[in-house]
Amino acid sequence: MNSVTAAVVRVTGTCNAGYQVGDRIVVNLDTACIDKQQSDSLCIWALNAILANLSRIKPGETCLASCPDPATGTGGNVVFGLSKET
């Protein structure tokens, strides 16, 4: 399966979706779907940041993607490390 795994590497503030370091979202690139069995909860704002970076990732490399919440109010900013597996 060709996939991209987005793993939480940092949380600043309190994430409204409840993400914690180590949580992950797995995107199956063969089906263009989220692998629900391998993924934790899914925040649509985080998904936007992840999807925007899918085409940048080469197999074996990692890039960072940040959710759009600046963590200045009641929410929290989450940074994901994205890695591509073939």
Segment 50-86, tens digit of pLDDT: 999 988 899 888 999 999 887 777 778 999 999 998 8
Over residues 7-56, the pLDDT tens digits come to: 999 999 888 889 999 999 999 999 999 999 999 999 988 999 999 998 88
Q: What is the pLDDT of residue 72?
A: 72
84 half-sphere exposure, CB direction, 13 A CA radius: 16
If one counts the domains in the chain, the total is 1
Structural domain including 53 reads 3-85
